[in-house]
Amino acid sequence: MKRSELLFTLLLIPIDILAIMGGFIVAYFLRINSFEFIYVPPLAEFIQYVSYFIPLWVITFALAGLYSPKYIRISRVSTIKVLVAVTTSLMLFVTIMFFIRDAYFSRLIIIYSLLCICTTVIISRFILLWLKRLLHKYGVGVKRVFLIGNNETTAIIAHDLMRHTRRGYELIGIITTDENHNERIDTDLVIGSIDKLGPLVVEHSPDEIIQTDPNMTNEDNINIIHLCEDKNLQFRFVPSLFSLYAKNNTAETFGKIPVFAVHRSPLQGWGRIAKRMLDIVGATFGIILTLPIQILVAIIIKTTSKGPLLIIQERVGRDGNFKLFKFRSMYHADDIDARHAALQKKHGIMFKLRSDQDPRVTPIGRFIRKTSIDEIAQFYNVFIGNMSLVGPRPPMPMEVARYTREQKKRLGAVKPGITGLWQVSGRSDISFDDWVKLDVYYIENWSFTMDLYIIVKTVFVLATRKGAY
């Protein structure tokens, strides 16, 4: 999902809050300027009272699915969802008022509120949609698309993408699967054949690939999916391919043809936003709470051995290479890379010796490694945004160069983490293959509660120091 789409999804909450409050205020003035009334509270008191219930409205809207990116657009389905969500929220609001008997609102205000809030919410979402489409005209948030196929389905989807520019899609071109084109396919849109897909992706940098040919083999489809995973592209396919990747998919209609999207992880939309919010809050608290430890460790490191306070290592993450921070636990030597290469050749990828067996580790380094204090500095990586609190461990580029296809699956889907399933399942005591399997399982089965569980369990694992080298 593009960042602009995430931004518009996130904007739905404050816009809905403003629309709800605006609807209440319009209903208030309609009431006091219509029929006679016995009592209506002052406007300031009215606004203050209804604002207490705003979380109730937001939660109801969320449960109704109104914060899914696909409901930014105005359609019959989204309009019905708004009507149902507003009616439900208002009924809950009235029910709570009845039981607490804290204020009195005339029945007309309630009726006016139902009509006004439905109107303001729909109008506000229409304005947001208009703004999104306006930005699309300037190329902001537009998804660049490849189509793969030769059949009539390819032609229909191509025509739909070309005609509905408001969708925010730009058709880059069609990749053919054989020489026999459907007569409806515009040959000017054909930019190459399937055997040149890799170089074409590098040349044109698409955001999505849509596979429309049901006659392609499973092997070819898997190769396309692997390419999309490597290049961090969205892969979509027509329903006849549904059996290939039935997990973590969503559907969208192009020219009356349903097209499914394969997600490498459930970490999409609000899941991604929620995870990032957890990272920011967790990293902030982590930095503040461990600040005395950081200062103490910094003093000890600088006074007991020569070299920098922090080690900055190049690691591979979801968005490419980044700089990872660690408190230095090794002697600073010119041949440190040569020593590391020799040890890796002896012990294999992702080796990790016990601190008391590793000649590169300083005395204080053995302690901060055993207690994982050296990784406290990674809270800053999380705060910056190139790591997460929970995720796969960040590998080095030279390790990634030797990865197999299955091992590479742990890259690109989610950000690497300070901790993860590997951390709470044995840490350095587990094999590399099991390590990768745990990372892949996390990627494919992510949930917010899983992150919370791993964070809590990490605390207990660190307390026992099990598997820590």
pLDDT score at 244: 41
pLDDT score at 287: 92
Q: Over the stretch 83-139, which tens digit does the pLDDT of each residue have?
A: 888 888 888 888 887 777 655 566 778 888 889 999 999 899 888 888 888 888 887
Beta-strand ranges (E) seen in 238-385 are: 249-254, 257-262, 310-317, 320-327
In a domain, 86, yes or no: yes
Nearest CA to 450 out of 458, 461, 442 is that of 442
> What DSSP designation does 249 have?
E
Give long-range contacts, CB 8 A cutoff, 24+ apart: 126-132: 126/74, 128/8, 128/11, 128/12, 128/15, 128/72, 129/72, 129/73, 129/74, 132/4, 132/8, 132/72, 132/168
pLDDT score at 151: 83
Which residues form the domain of 180?
Answer: 143-262
Is the Cα torsion angle 417, 418, 420, 425 positive or negative in sign?
A: positive
pLDDT score at 7: 79
- pLDDT tens across the length of the chain (469 residues): 567 777 777 888 899 999 999 999 998 888 788 766 656 778 888 888 888 889 999 988 888 778 876 555 656 667 778 888 888 888 888 888 777 765 556 677 888 888 999 999 989 988 888 888 888 888 788 888 999 988 888 888 888 888 765 468 888 988 988 766 666 777 788 888 888 888 999 999 898 999 888 778 778 888 888 888 888 888 888 765 444 444 556 666 666 666 766 665 667 667 788 888 889 989 999 999 899 999 999 999 888 888 888 888 899 888 788 999 999 888 765 445 555 555 555 555 555 555 555 667 888 888 888 888 888 999 999 999 899 999 888 888 887 877 776 667 667 678 899 988 877 765 555 666 667 777 777 877 788 878 888 888 888 777 665 545 4
- On whether both 118 and 214 belong to a single domain, the answer is no
Angstrom distance (rounded) from CA 159 to CA 75: 21
Last residue of a domain, one of 217, 244, 262: 262
- On whether both 235 and 299 belong to a single domain, the answer is no
In a domain, 363, yes or no: yes
- On whether both 19 and 36 belong to a single domain, the answer is yes
In a domain, 443, yes or no: yes
- On whether both 132 and 147 belong to a single domain, the answer is no
In a domain, 238, yes or no: yes
Last residue of a domain, one of 243, 262, 281: 262
pLDDT score at 433: 66
Residue 153: CATH number of its domain: 3.40.50.720
- On whether both 152 and 201 belong to a single domain, the answer is yes
- Which H helix or E strand runs over 390? strand 388-390
- On whether both 454 and 401 belong to a single domain, the answer is yes
- On whether both 321 and 455 belong to a single domain, the answer is yes
Beta-strand ranges (E) seen in 318-411 are: 320-327, 388-390
- On whether both 322 and 431 belong to a single domain, the answer is yes
pLDDT score at 243: 45
Other beta carbons within 10 Å of 464: 8
SS3 141: coil
pLDDT score at 380: 93
- What angle is formed at CA 433 by the lines to CA 431 and CA 438, rounded to 5 degrees? 95
In a domain, 413, yes or no: yes
- On whether both 280 and 400 belong to a single domain, the answer is yes
Name residue 310's beta-bridge partners: 327
- On whether both 154 and 116 belong to a single domain, the answer is no
In a domain, 402, yes or no: yes
Per-residue HEC secondary structure of 406-427 comes to HHHCCCCCCCCEEECCCCCCCH
- On whether both 234 and 278 belong to a single domain, the answer is no
- On whether both 108 and 249 belong to a single domain, the answer is no
Amino acid at site 419: T
Nearest CA to 154 out of 201, 190, 118 is that of 190
pLDDT score at 71: 53
H helices, E strands: number in the chain? 17, 11
Question: What is the chain's length?
Answer: 469
| Entry pTM | 0.55
Last residue of a domain, one of 231, 262, 293: 262
Split into its structural domains, the chain has a count of 3
The answer to whether 423 and 469 are in contact (CB under 8 A) is no
pLDDT score at 378: 93
In a domain, 469, yes or no: no
pLDDT score at 241: 41
Beta-strand ranges (E) seen in 32-105 are: none
